[in-house]
A and B are shown apart, each in its own frame.
Chain A
Amino acid sequence: MKTVGIILVTAIACILPFLLPGNFYLGIATQILVYGLFAVSVNTLAGYGGMVSLGHAGFLGIAAYAYAVTSGTYGFSPWIAVGAALVIGTAAAAVFGLIALRTSGLSFLMITLALGQIVWGVAFRYTDLTNGDNGISLGRASVISADPLTLYYVCLAVLALVMVLLAAFIRSPLGAAIKGVRDQPRRMSTLGYNTWAIRYVAYLVSGFVATVSGILYVQIFQFISPHALSLTVSSEAVLMVIAGGIGTLFGPLLGAGVVVLLKNVASAYTDRWPTLLGCIFLFIIIAMPEGLLPGSKRILAGMIGSFRKGAAPSASLQPTSRAR
């Protein structure tokens, strides 16, 4: 059933550009893929590692800036810029992880918030490198492709590859250890696991995926400014994860779809789209506290169950009622 669902969604994603009315909607679909990947990175840390970060946009932004500076400012080829962004973004995760993982729980949340704000501050103030609030615009030659259709398929391919690798990672012994440390850190330590190192690996993997999403971000917008590193972006990613289903592989993609659609489509009709977003989140939390994906599964299973129950007794009761 799950495999059929994945094949179906992948098939729809492959033919989607030909079903959409124009480049505007294709752009939104591409944004969903990029923000979905970013939400997946947050979910790797929060859902599987049990560590909620409010500074993850920092990695997206560092990678995007690293790409923009290498490719746009210094004129290196886009592929060299991709390599530089991957190295710099992941190195930032390696350094930030050393600091953030000195804490856990609420303190971890606050220290990631602080780290994210530091990166935002640097992007805003270090104008020689980042061009400050004006950001860095990239020409068509500075990105891998400026064609919306090509970009869509590049983002889809990267997302698919990351999802396949992540699914394998989560099923692996190390993935099981990450979930074990999330659920019972004390027990895991007693069993011989280095809980700090396991959390650090989760942080690094999460930072790497956020870095990849940052590279895709700068491809589709051809622009990067401090806004991309803001607390709002980090918070939205956490909302995407919670809305879609924390600790599920595909839930964050669904959450990203809801948020990006609301931001882009609802904002065309009303300035008060954040209120609408808030109402929708309230509805999700009340109706499906586990998130849209697991919640929908639960409701669907309940409906199938009650349908079967309704069908079975009526068949079995009929003779009894006749006997009466």
Chain B
Amino acid sequence: MSALELNNLSKSFGGLHVINDVSFKVMEGERRLILGPNGAGKTTLFNLIAGDLAPSFGTISLAGEDVSALPTNRRAARGIGRTFQILTLFSGETVIRNVVLASLGRTSRRWKPFGSLDADEEFRASAMEILRTVMLDHIADKCVSETSYGERRRLEIAMALAQQPRLLLLDEPLAGLSKEERKGIEGLLNALPRSLTVIMIEHDMDVALGFADRIALLQNGKLLVDGSRDEVIADPRTKEAYLAE
């Protein structure tokens, strides 16, 4: 069964066609890589899937359900989690509170007007578990503004995982990281459960190609090549449009 299906998806800003008639399927548990040069429309595609942008045309189906008209929060409730290329964290809060806020979003307890959030042991325990997964448990009570860039990148992933998503969208999770930090994130990505469907935008080819089952190559908002990793790498259009850069 397909975890995500895009049908003739298009997005225009005035006369500018950022996404142009893109269709592909992502199967459950698949690792899908979105490739493309700068300005190809990769992040716009993520914004359309997550619900930050409404499509100009076409449909988005999540596990068979058309979610094209749903707002972002309701798509999140149906299992879409994402990270951002530009870090989007609560920098004035502690690391663990960021994860607790992320966990809270999927429960009805987010509407509770009384009772201290910090005193909720259940949320704290599950947040600590996630922080252990991303190896940030040792700085759980540190303020995010005092953490390193690499730690913040991990926290981005931790927050998305705290949502317990069915489909995880990773927007350049390795951007701006050192070689050592990249290795750490690579290990983390490879350890993600196979039941989780992952779509990733990434320019680090060593990590990205090792991670992907299938690849979709975008150019000028159009789907240029779609296929298995080996097929896409071997395709001359891939070399011409992207790998030759």
Contact surface of A with B, Cβ cutoff 8 Å = 168-169, 171-177, 180, 183-184, 186-195
Contact = CB atoms under 8 A, between A and B. Distances in A.
Contacts of B101: 176-177, 180, 188, 191
Given A173-B104, A183-B92, A186-B52, A192 B77 contact: yes
B111 A173 contact: yes
Interface string B71-98: 1110011000110100011111000010
A180 B91 CA distance: 11
Interface stretch (B115-123, B132-140, B193-201, B234-242): B115-123
B114 A169 contact: yes
A173 B109 contact: yes
A172 B112 contact: yes
A186 to B, nearest CB: 6
B102 interface: yes
Nearest to A176: B117
A188 B50 CA distance: 12
Interface string B52-86: 10000000000000000001110011000110100
B113 A169 contact: yes
Interface residues of B, number: 35
B130 interface: no
Contact of A172 (B90, B102, B113): B113
A171 B92 CA distance: 15
A189 B113 CA distance: 19
B19 interface: no
Contact of A190 (B72, B109, B111, B114): B72
Interface of B is mostly: loop
A193 B113 CA distance: 15
A191 B52 contact: no
Question: Nearest 3 pairs between A and B by C-beta?
Answer: A191-B105, A192-B105, A192-B76
A174 B76 contact: no
B102 A191 contact: yes
Contacts of B50: 190
A193 B90 contact: no
Nearest to B115: A172
Nearest to A183: B90
Contacts of B88: 184, 186-187, 190
B229 interface: no
B116 A171 contact: yes
B10 interface: no
A201 B215 CA distance: 44
Interface string B192-215: 000000000000000000000000
A177 B84 CA distance: 19
A239 to B, nearest CB: 24
Contacts of B106: 191-192
A198 to B, nearest CB: 8
B163 to A, nearest CB: 6
Contacts of A183: 90-92
Contacts of B118: 171
Given A183-B90, A187-B88, A172 B117 contact: yes
Contacts of A187: 84, 88-90, 159
